[in-house]
């Protein structure tokens, strides 16, 4: 059954990756502007002073304009750095310097903090391939966020950042998959009730 779930996830990831690749420049620009406004509203409504975010890759929902906005407002932003053991270290970036991480994704260059650094942020915004209506987050298969979130005793609220079409009725769930507290898309913020 687990093998079937793995195959189901791989097929869904391939479909979602293809959808992201075929987005037009206009769609990307429109979604980036809308997502930036939604993320700003999220931060303002919750009076966020510190947040864990990530550097978006080219095909992901573009959080970089929001990141710049957060830097300008003095919000402390922690960004992930991948480790060989599958966990994430965190660093405070300058908004400019970055390098390619272990998984080939962009990562911040800055003073490296421990995995525990995100325990005290006001919210964690995580990348995702899709999220189901029940709050199950499906990542891209490397497991960094599942391991990190699963190791936290008292974790801050976690919101997955996805495109609107990636909020699905359900996604395949394996035992190690960590649910999220909500999603942020270009058009909305949804908080799941437990």
Domain ranges of the chain: 2-191
Reported as a single tens digit per residue, the pLDDT across 28-43 is 999 999 999 999 999 9
pLDDT for residue 96? 66
**DSSP per position, the chain:** -HHHHHHHHHHHHHHHHHHHHT--HHHHHHHHHHHHHHHHHHHHHTT-SEEE--PPPTTS---HHHHHHHHHTT-EEEEEEE-TTS-EEEEE--SS-EEE-TTSSEEE-S-EE-GGGGGG-SEEEEE-SEEETTSBEE--SS-HHHHHHHT-SSPPPEEEE--GGGEES-----TTPPB-SEEE-SS-EEE---
- According to CATH, what is the number of the domain 2-191? 3.40.50.10420
Query: Can you give the pTM of this predicted structure?
Result: 0.91
pLDDT, tens digit only, all 194 positions of the chain: 455 777 888 899 999 999 999 999 999 999 999 999 999 999 999 999 999 999 888 889 999 999 999 999 999 999 988 888 878 888 887 666 676 766 667 777 778 887 788 888 999 999 999 999 999 999 887 788 888 888 887 899 999 999 999 999 999 888 888 899 999 999 999 999 75
């Amino acid at each position: 059954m687990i093998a079937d779930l793995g195959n189901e996830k791989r097929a869904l990831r391939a479909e979602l990756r293809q959808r992201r690749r075929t987005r037009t420049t206009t769609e990307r620009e429109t979604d980036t502007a809308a997502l930036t406004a939604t993320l700003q509203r999220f931060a303002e409504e919750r009076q966020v002073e510190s947040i864990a975010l990530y550097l978006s890759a080219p095909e992901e929902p573009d959080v970089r304009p929001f990141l710049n906005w957060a830097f300008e407002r003095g919000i402390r932003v922690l960004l992930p750095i991948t480790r060989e053991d599958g966990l994430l270290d965190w660093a405070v970036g300058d908004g400019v310097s970055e390098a390619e991480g272990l998984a080939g994704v962009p990562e911040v260059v800055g003073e490296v903090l421990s995995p525990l650094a995100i325990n005290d942020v006001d919210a964690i915004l995580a990348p995702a391939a899709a999220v189901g209506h029940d709050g199950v987050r499906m990542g891209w298969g490397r497991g960094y966020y599942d391991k990190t979130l699963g190791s936290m005793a008292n974790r801050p609220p976690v919101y997955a950042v996805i495109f609107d079409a990636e909020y699905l009725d359900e996604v395949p769930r394996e035992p190690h998959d960590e649910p999220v507290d909500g999603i942020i898309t270009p058009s909305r913020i949804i908080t799941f009730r437990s």
